[in-house]
Amino acid sequence: MSSRVVISGSGLWTPEHRISNQELVASYNAWADQYNSKNAQAIQAGELEAKPHSSAEFVEKASGIKNRYAYIKDGILDINRMRPRIPLRTDEQLSDQAEIALHSARLALKAANKSPADIDAVIVSCAITQRSFPAIAIEVQQQLGIKGFGFDMLVACSAATFGVHRAYEMVKAGTAKAVLVINPELTSPLVNYTDRDSHFIFGDVSTAMVVESTQSCQSDNVFEILSTKAVTQYSSNIRANIGYVNHANDSDPTSPDKLFYQYGRKVFKEVCPMAAEHILQHIQQHQLDTTDVKRWWLHQANINMNLLIVKKILGRDATQQEAPIVLDEYANTASAGSLIAFNLHQQDMQTGDVGVLCSFGAGYSIGSLVLRKM
């Protein structure tokens, strides 16, 4: 029997700092009051718009989010700062993103019963990296003592699944025996905490997976990758314009348009049917019906998107067991959301059970994997 490609271990690292909706909204409202007071004359003259208040109830109703985690909480709730206070590190020090990547990487290696000597390649795939080069993946590779090679991938909220796709192809082609895929989503520096409509969306986290062939697998908890499927379709409805060209544009790299922003209603309307159709086409490649799939590990951006997509797929509402929601606790963690769901909701899967792991986001980009418990 030819060797098959499997996920032999996964890891989830959660930051210690927690921020509730109540904390975040209280800070935003205090900032809004301060802004409106400072700009009262301009607001009265119609030159500026007053900043509206928010509420924890509004946030939960709009998104399903109740909580999020932050790599560094200090500064986020400071109304005179409204961004995390992350100390600058020297070139000789470990980068912030490599630090959180290592946490989940070590957990995944342990789950897979692998040592760094067993890994041939490291892929760091996430929404954004804190520098262009040298690659965060190569930094992590060195810290772990892994031989071979590493590289970074940026595919917004589909980065994690696209990274596992590349690992699958490398193992399938024989260019690597085992690949470590890491998703260190350090999103908090990209959030505009002064924007009522988006300040609550993101949280920090790091996830990781080991992908290898069945020939080398020594894990007791294994999922075979039956196939992968990806699609991209250009849209500018989700953007972050920060980049090295800002310097040449003579533009402010900290202005609101350089941070995360989106046209949420357009995204909702366009992505939901696109994702549902993508998933249905993927399982049909295996002559599978939706009743043959036990678990749907979906991207965690907005609870209303998840509920609608699953309803389009199943023709009914899904249970929490069928399509687990984790964004209430973790918020939107960019590409890591579906992997958080996988980490937390796969222990009950039995041999032969099928699940679908799917992400969707900016680009637009959609990536999916059909998995079977071995």
Catalytic residues: 157
Enclosing H/E stretch for 20: strand 17-20
> DSSP string of 123-146?
EEEES--S-SSS-HHHHHHHHHT-
- Range list of β-strands (E), 90-222: 121-126, 149-154, 178-185, 205-213
Q: Are 124 and 229 in contact (CB under 8 A)?
A: no
- Give the whole-angstrom CA distance, residue 262 versus residue 134: 29
Please give the angle made by the CA atoms of 364, 366 and 371, to the nearest 5 degrees. 175
Residue 366: both structure tokens together: 């959609």
Closest CA to 293 of 234, 218, 352: 352
Enclosing H/E stretch for 329: helix 327-330
